[in-house]
Structure 1
Amino acid sequence: MAFSTITDLDVAAAQRHSSELRSRLLTSTSTTYTTGADGTGNGERVLVLGGTGYIGRALVPELARRGYRPAVLARNAEAKNDAEFADAEIVVGDPTRAQDVLDAVAAAPTAVVISLLSGRRPNDAEECRLVDHDAIVHGIQAAVAHEVQQFVHISDFGAYRPELIPQVYKLQVEGELMGQHHGALDWTIIRPTSYFPYLAMTFGDVKNGEPYRIFDHGEYSVVNPIAREDLAEFIVNHVLREESYGRVLPVGGPWTDDNVVTLKGAGQMMFDVTGRPESWNVVTMASWDKKIARLTRMGRISKQLKPVAYYLEAAKYWSVVDHVAPAYGTRTLRGFMEKLKDREFPTGSFRERMKSGTNLMPTDI
């Protein structure tokens, strides 16, 4: 989806908006949620789809600690060797295959199905359809067929302004849940703002002396990201909680100076944590718009260029759209970066590592 061009007036207005929004958050108290584990299970089986991913590795142990019996649908049995899944039942299967999901739910009485599913290649429209829609629908249909008590869909805060392919499909799933398109089923939808690794993608670049890229002033939008551990606790708080049935729950991390950031603020945090002098690669949004338009036109002819145009649009989206939600948790973006500062990162720029296929995000902490 193409974005409209940002004018000089928009540039200045956006910076004022971000400054005012951040100031309001830092001088306010978020009272929507109370941080802390709330509720325990009694051995109920909870099937997690997408449980071997970044959030799942925090959610599955949290379910076990809180008295639930987690089961994870994984593509291979080797997941059982990972410490995070020591207390989990591993069911081998592929969520994009409806029968595999049906079998996983039917393997034992299942009280709750939680979907963390999210495509790994957000620029691939077909994969997004298969994972961000079809696979989740398989979970919904299996839950209906076996009278599961609750389906928990971990969506995306971007569903409030869906402009990227995965967000559109996640919103479609939300609509199908709300409309009971696949049968009667109690549901809870959770929309997290963003995760720490996404805001720390270029931490290695900064540590290796590379400049940090911003658009114009770098203050088009504000985000309060949430730690996976805090999100896991939040999710489990709403498992089998009747007050959460039929609700959409937006959630982000603490409203604190070290967690409410603009794109430039995240960069300044990296320079501060690494001890590197500030070095900025300033790109004008006007030139970025032109690049997107050009690559979009060329992408109609070249399949190789179409994904590139998508990444440029995604970079703009995450730079100009606020992702601010009620606060939950205690962990902060700065705290995450502090854990990264003693690590070694591959040399070369983010762009070079992306081309070589090197793991882009520090997702192991």
Structure 2
Amino acid sequence: MEPMYVFLILGSLQNSIDNLGTSIDVVVSCLASRGGGIKDSWKIDYEATKNSLFAGKKHGASHFVLLSAICVQKPLLEFQRAKLKFEAELIKVAEGDNAFTYSIVRPTAFFKSLGGQVELVKDGKPYVMFGDGKLCACKPISEEDLASFIADCVLSKDRINQVLPIGGPGKALTPLEQGEMLYRLLGKEPKFLKVPIEIMDFAIGVLDFLGKIFPSMEDAAEFGKIGRYYAAESMLVLDPETREYSADKTPSYGKDTLEDFFDRVLREGMTGQELGEQTII
């Protein structure tokens, strides 16, 4: 995101709210940087989100619903640190104001973030995974089910002043199991391309080195780290005692399944579900 575009977003937010001509009861913030770049993350995941909090409070909002991400449990990336900093400040604001509450929603993986290879596999390309395909797992949730969960946070008292990890229905799935599911829907023999994750480590090392010499390449290194993170870290609740990811401790919600999503994409394509700059594979 270009600096001028960021500036326009930050500046127009307050103007838009001021021009509403009415009070605000609840703010639901789903702001996130487009690609996870270093500067973008702090401008959007932190600053713009913080602006929405105080602009909402200024106009009477008494509850703030924040769409965060489950991966902030293990913050190794800049956008995760930015999200966590805002989460902490949101909680602090609520602790200092008895008339103000929050709900922090931390979803697992979105269906569309797992659908990038569906059409490639349909066209005969192999399903790409890192390592043995079992390095990580997730309980993905559909946009519709997540939207319903977020809407419930506005009215449900049991979600007030809570940090709420949430996944979709069914068991946690590894990339290997997702690939097997896709080939089963296609009625084809599985064809996997297993890539050593060390390749990503080497590439990130090179980009990190170049980023120290050429600041314009800092984001390229960060994007590599983001890809590496999602290739190896599970999108599940991180047990605070064992420091291991737990499918059993990851709440499930909704009715939409990844298998149904894959089936629909095979028939209709990814139109409307494009990741754009957030595409990793």
Could you tell me the TM-score, scaled by structure 2's length? 0.81
Q: In the alignment, what sits opposite 1:23?
A: none
Aligned equivalent of 2:233: 321
Figure out how many residues of one structure are paired with residues of the other and give that number: 257
Query: Cα gap change, 1:345/1:243 in structure 2, threshold over 3 Å: closer, same or farther?
Result: closer
Which of 239, 256, 259 is equivalent to 1:334? 259
Give 5+ residue unaligned stretches, structure 2: 237-249
2:100 corresponds to 1:100: no
Is the contact between residue 215 and residue 285 of structure 1 (CA under 8 Å) also seen in structure 2?
yes
Verify the 8 A CA contact 1:152 1:189 in the aligned structure 2.
yes
Q: Aligned in 2, Cα 1:135/1:244: closer, same or farther, shift over 3 Å?
A: same
What is the CA–CA distance in structure 2 between the aligned matches of 1:298 and 1:148, rounded to whole Å?
A: 46
Deviation at 1:135, TM superposition (A): 1.0
State the Cα deviation string for residues 83-112 of structure 1 (Å, max 9, x = none).
Answer: xxxxxxxxxx835545235426x5312111
Deviation, structure 1 residue 271: 2.1
* Larger proportion of helix: 2
Name which of 215, 219, 235 aligns with 2:134.
219
- Residue 224 (structure 1) shift: 0.1
Q: Which moved more, 1:112-121 or 1:233-242?
A: 233-242
Identity of aligned residues (%): 28
Asked if 2 retains the 8 angstrom alpha-carbon contact of 1:102 and 1:138, the reply is: no
Q: Is the 8 A contact 2:38 2:222 kept in 1?
A: no
Q: Structure 1 residue 150: deviation in Å?
A: 0.5
Cα distance in structure 2, aligned partners of 1:96 and 1:163:
30
Structure-2 separation of matches of 1:119 and 1:208: 32
Identify the residue that residue 30 of structure 2 maps to in structure 1.
Answer: 116
Counterpart residue type for residue 313 of structure 1: K
Amino acid at match of 1:222: A
Q: Do residues 297 (structure 1) and 214 (structure 2) align?
A: no
Runs (5+) with no aligned partner, structure 1? 1-74, 76-92, 347-352
Compared with structure 1, are the counterparts of its residues 100 and 270 closer, same or farther at alpha carbon in structure 2 (3 Å cutoff)? farther
Which letter does structure 2 place at the counterpart of 1:208?
D
TM-score scaled to structure 1, two decimals?
0.64
**Contact residue 35 and residue 277 of structure 2 kept, 8 A:** no
Aligned CA RMSD, in angstroms, stands at: 2.8
C-alpha distance in structure 2 between counterparts of 1:100 and 1:207, whole Å: 47
Q: 2:66 touches 2:105 (CA, 8 Å); kept in 1?
A: yes
Bigger drift between 206-215 and 129-138 goes to 206-215
